[in-house]
Amino acid sequence: RLAYECLSQSFDSAKHSPTLVPTATKPDAVQTESLPYTQYLSMIKSQIACAKDIHNALLECSNKITGKVPSQGVL
């Protein structure tokens, strides 16, 4: 199961991030064009913040169109 999760995460990383995140523990196996994990986390946090901003903008627009008052629990 752990191997499956690691492989799945690797595929998702390759599909959704512009550069690879190293998955190997041996220094000689790390790819030169990969991001360090700390930079990867920073990139993911900024993507999450951007997604939240887009969500809030869409929610605000839909509320304006329908005339609804925004709820207090907006992300």
What percent of the chain has pLDDT above 90?
A: 20
Interval 38-47: pLDDT, tens? 888 888 898 8
What integer pLDDT is reported at residue 54 of this predicted model? 92
More confident residue, 38 or 16: 38
Q: Distance between CA atoms of 1 and 20, rounded to whole angstroms?
A: 22
Mean pLDDT, range 2-20, rounded to an integer? 77
